[in-house]
């Protein structure tokens, strides 16, 4: 796929040896990677269609080193791309040819488990799942659970404001972190929040979360942990018509029920998942909902009954209830493995991530079928139905000429459709490079200029992860001009007191 990135700066490239030497003074030994073979490991992230060798890779292990690297790069005018585990599906960690790739993998320690305050302080390179594993013996867990949780890091989760299958009830990353330590491009170390709630002043913790590595480099995270629910039951509900499944989702929410998770899979996704993990999914169904209810046993029993009744009202053809923890996990196994499962039925797939109002689920499915015919590419659908977050998987073969371009165009059409239906371009994967050029479908020039002004407050030279999120790079000085049209005043109709 082709994606225009900022033109590499020849002057920076010509100073590569000098930059390497300076970085080695900050991060000695193997922490600075120069050889092409070793840099190759960092050339792409989870969006593998895009590849670019970074100029240099640096792997610091202490916050002072991060600060010194950023301070040096700012002075030297060198761009920096931060990277966690490299699982981004939007190209958030795609390197730059003239940039330093700042890998945070060595920040991999859990610093403090504080059950009394129900929080854990971790370094950003700790994986999402490792946090839950560290506290589960005491009956706690960390709620956001992106499907990549075994590999993705909490630092990356903060950068992307990651979600997961349980975020309808328990929130996404931004709702589950209390504080961070971060380093600005000028080397200043800043602490936001802590173990207390709602740090006052501007909510910079809120804007850092989901800022895709464009504002600062996170060096420590304090997350909230929650007590595990007493019980959880999952329902598998099959439908002969996708429209019924879509209406059932809206009806559950309208009945005042917020399930722990509510996932949708269409027929191609059901078949791919069942072939892969044998989860017991109904193969004759056109659509499948997995609804999980958690809480006190009496509550789970009551709500399970209500969801069953709603499903029957919406013409469910099959309803299965998990009778054991093992069966509940098995029900989820197909959904959690949906991406690799689809990977087995097509040489390549392209995962999209838009959000729409729930009521439009069946509309967008119908429109996608039309698009699928037009582009002559199959699509399998898994949705976080509870919050309207779609993950259409477009199947293609990169070895067939033109297919990758068709897949990309199909994906862009789906995302434009999401915006047209009142939704947004990305629910949890981020804009990155992938959706950068679609930002205009959702935001006008003034909207984007205001977003970039936030960037100017953090990184006025635009050296941190440039080329992501914004379709056009503006210099901060150029954005700074005020455009007041004095001649437009006064306004005779305006009531004045």
Partner 1 sequence: MSRVAPADLGELRDVIGEALTAEEPLELVAGATRRGLGRPLQLPRTLDLSRLTGIRDYQPSELVLTAGAATPLEEIETALAQAGQMLPFEPPDWAGLFDLPPSAARRATLGGVLACNLSGPRRIKAGAARDHFLGFRGVSGRGEVFKAGGKVVKNVTGYDLPKLMAGSYGTLAALEEVTIKVLPRAEAACTVVLYGLDPATGVRRLTRALASPHEVSGAAYLPASLAATPISSLGPYSMAALRLEGPPLSVAFRRERLLAELASDCEAAVLEAEPSAELWRSIRDVAPLSHPVGRVVWRVSVAPSRGAELGEVIARGLDASWYLDWGGGLLWVAVAGAEDGGAAVIRGAIRGPDGQGTGHATLIRGSPALRHVVPVFEPQAPPLAALAARVKLNFDPQRILNPGRMVEGS
Q: Interaction with partner 1 in 321-360: which residues (CB under 8 A)? A: 355-359
Position 188 contacts partner 1 (CB under 8 A): yes
Contacts of 236 (CB under 8 A, 6+ apart): 280, 281, 282, 288, 289, 290, 318, 319, 320, 331
Position 254 contacts partner 1 (CB under 8 A): yes
d(CA 344, CA 9): 41
Q: How far is the CB of 394 from partner 1 (least distance, A)?
A: 20
Please, which of residues 33-62 interact with partner 1 by CB under 8 A? none
Of 250, 287, 463, 464, the residue at the interface with partner 1 (CB under 8 A) is 250
Alpha-carbon dihedral angle through residues 53, 156, 429, 52, given to the nearest 10 degrees? 0
In the complex with partner 1, which residue's Cβ is closer, 326 or 482? 482
| Residue recorded with tokens 């007590």 | 227
Query: Hey, is 274 helix, strand or coil?
Result: helix
Of 195, 267, 315, 406, the residue at the interface with partner 1 (CB under 8 A) is 195
In the complex with partner 1, which residue's Cβ is closer, 297 or 347? 297
d(CA 477, CA 466): 16
In the complex with partner 1, which residue's Cβ is closer, 54 or 155? 155
Which helix (H) or strand (E) segment holds residue 245: the answer is: helix 242-254
Q: How far is the CB of 288 from partner 1 (least distance, A)?
A: 21
| Nearest to 26, CA basis, from 57, 69, 63, 62 | 69
Q: How far is the CB of 258 from partner 1 (least distance, A)?
A: 7
Position 190 contacts partner 1 (CB under 8 A): yes
d(CA 12, CA 240): 60
Position 430 contacts partner 1 (CB under 8 A): yes
| Nearest to 261, CA basis, from 235, 298, 230, 239 | 235
Q: How far is the CB of 423 from partner 1 (least distance, A)?
A: 5
In the complex with partner 1, which residue's Cβ is closer, 19 or 382? 382
Choices 8-16, 120-128, 322-330, 482-490 (CB under 8 A): range interacting with partner 1: 482-490
The DSSP string of 337-382 is: THHHHHHHHSSEEEE--EE--GGGHHHHHHHHHHHHHHHT--EEEE
Q: How far is the CB of 397 from partner 1 (least distance, A)?
A: 30
Task: With beta carbons less than 8 A apart as the criterion, state whether 33 and 75 touch.
Answer: no
Task: With beta carbons less than 8 A apart as the criterion, state whether 159 and 428 touch.
Answer: no
Q: How far is the CB of 309 from partner 1 (least distance, A)?
A: 14
Position 471 contacts partner 1 (CB under 8 A): no
Q: Is the dihedral of CA 402, 406, 409, 411 positive or negative?
A: negative
In the complex with partner 1, which residue's Cβ is closer, 369 or 450? 450
Of 276, 339, 410, 458, the residue at the interface with partner 1 (CB under 8 A) is 458
- Count of residues that interact with partner 1, criterion CB under 8 A: 110
In the complex with partner 1, which residue's Cβ is closer, 20 or 226? 226
Q: How far is the CB of 48 from partner 1 (least distance, A)?
A: 21
Position 71 contacts partner 1 (CB under 8 A): no
Position 118 contacts partner 1 (CB under 8 A): yes
Choices 15-23, 273-281, 401-409, 478-486 (CB under 8 A): range interacting with partner 1: 478-486
Of 265, 341, 364, 469, the residue at the interface with partner 1 (CB under 8 A) is 469
In the complex with partner 1, which residue's Cβ is closer, 272 or 300? 300
Of 17, 323, 483, 492, the residue at the interface with partner 1 (CB under 8 A) is 483
Please, which of residues 379-398 interact with partner 1 by CB under 8 A? 384, 387-389
Q: Is the backbone peptide bond immediately before 310 cis, with ω within 30 degrees of 0?
A: no
d(CA 403, CA 259): 39
Please, which of residues 201-230 interact with partner 1 by CB under 8 A? 201-207, 209-211, 215, 227-230
Please, which of residues 125-184 interact with partner 1 by CB under 8 A? 139-140, 160-161, 163, 167-168, 171-172, 174-175, 184
In the complex with partner 1, which residue's Cβ is closer, 326 or 486? 486
Task: With beta carbons less than 8 A apart as the criterion, state whether 102 and 217 touch.
Answer: yes
d(CA 250, CA 230): 26
DSSP 8-class letter at 153: B
Contacts of 118 (CB under 8 A, 6+ apart): 140, 224, 225, 226
127 C-beta neighbours (distance < 10 Å), count:
22
d(CA 426, CA 91): 13
d(CA 84, CA 221): 13
Of 431, 433, 463, 464, the residue at the interface with partner 1 (CB under 8 A) is 431
Of 9, 43, 64, 299, the residue at the interface with partner 1 (CB under 8 A) is 299
d(CA 214, CA 216): 6
Q: How far is the CB of 381 from partner 1 (least distance, A)?
A: 16
Please, which of residues 300-319 interact with partner 1 by CB under 8 A? 301-303
Position 480 contacts partner 1 (CB under 8 A): yes
Choices 36-44, 49-57, 61-69, 424-432 (CB under 8 A): range interacting with partner 1: 424-432
Task: With beta carbons less than 8 A apart as the criterion, state whether 36 and 63 touch.
Answer: no
Task: With beta carbons less than 8 A apart as the criterion, state whether 286 and 240 touch.
Answer: yes
In the complex with partner 1, which residue's Cβ is closer, 181 or 274? 181
In the complex with partner 1, which residue's Cβ is closer, 186 or 348? 186
């Amino acid at each position: 796929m082709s994606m225009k990135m900022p033109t590499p700066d020849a002057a920076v490239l010509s100073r590569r040896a000098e930059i390497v030497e300076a970085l080695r003074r900050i991060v000695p030994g193997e922490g600075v990677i120069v050889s092409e073979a070793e840099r190759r490991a960092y050339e792409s992230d989870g969006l593998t269609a895009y590849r670019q060798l970074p100029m240099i890779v640096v792997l610091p292990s202490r916050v002072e080193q991060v600060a010194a690297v950023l301070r040096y790069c700012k002075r030297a005018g060198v761009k920096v791309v931060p990277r966690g585990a490299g699982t981004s599906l939007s190209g958030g960690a795609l390197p730059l040819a003239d940039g330093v790739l700042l890998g945070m993998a060595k920040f991999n320690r859990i610093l403090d488990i504080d059950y009394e305050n129900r929080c854990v302080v971790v370094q950003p390179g700790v994986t999402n799942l490792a946090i839950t594993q560290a506290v589960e013996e005491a009956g706690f867990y960390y709620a956001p659970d992106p499907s990549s949780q075994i590999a993705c890091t909490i630092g990356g989760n903060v950068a992307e404001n990651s979600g997961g299958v349980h975020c309808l009830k328990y929130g996404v990353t931004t709702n589950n972190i209390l504080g961070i330590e971060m380093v600005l491009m000028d080397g200043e170390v800043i602490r936001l929040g802590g173990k207390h709630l709602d740090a006052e002043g501007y909510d910079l913790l809120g804007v850092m979360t989901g800022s895709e590595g464009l504002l600062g480099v996170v060096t420590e995270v304090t997350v909230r942990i929650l007590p595990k629910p007493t019980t959880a039951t999952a329902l598998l509900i099959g439908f002969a018509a996708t429209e019924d499944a879509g209406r059932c989702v809206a009806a559950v929410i309208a009945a005042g029920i917020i399930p722990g998770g509510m996932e949708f899979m269409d027929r191609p996704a059901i078949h791919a998942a069942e072939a892969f993990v044998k989860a017991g999914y109904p193969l004759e169904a056109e659509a499948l909902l997995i609804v999980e209810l958690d809480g006190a046993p009496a509550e789970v029993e009551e709500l399970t009954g209500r969801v069953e009744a709603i499903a029957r009202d919406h013409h469910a053809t099959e309803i299965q209830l998990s009778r054991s923890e093992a069966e509940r996990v098995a029900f989820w196994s197909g959904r959690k493995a949906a991406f690799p499962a689809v990977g087995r039925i097509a040489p390549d797939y392209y995962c999209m991530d838009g959000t729409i109002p729930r009521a439009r689920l069946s509309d967008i499915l119908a429109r996608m079928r039309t698009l699928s015919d037009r582009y002559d590419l199959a699509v399998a659908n898994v949705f976080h139905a509870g919050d309207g977050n779609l993950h259409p998987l477009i199947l293609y073969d990169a070895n067939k000429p033109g297919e990758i371009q068709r897949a990309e165009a199909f994906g862009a059409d789906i995302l434009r459709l999401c915006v047209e239906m009142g939704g947004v371009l990305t629910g949890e994967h981020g804009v990155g490079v992938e959706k950068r050029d679609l930002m205009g479908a959702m935001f006008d020039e003034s909207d984007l200029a205001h977003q970039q002004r936030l960037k100017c407050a953090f990184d006025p030279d635009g050296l941190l992860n440039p080329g992501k999120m914004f379709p056009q790079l503006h210099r901060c000085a150029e954005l700074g001009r005020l455009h007041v049209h004095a001649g437009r005043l006064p306004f005779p109709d305006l009531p004045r007191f």
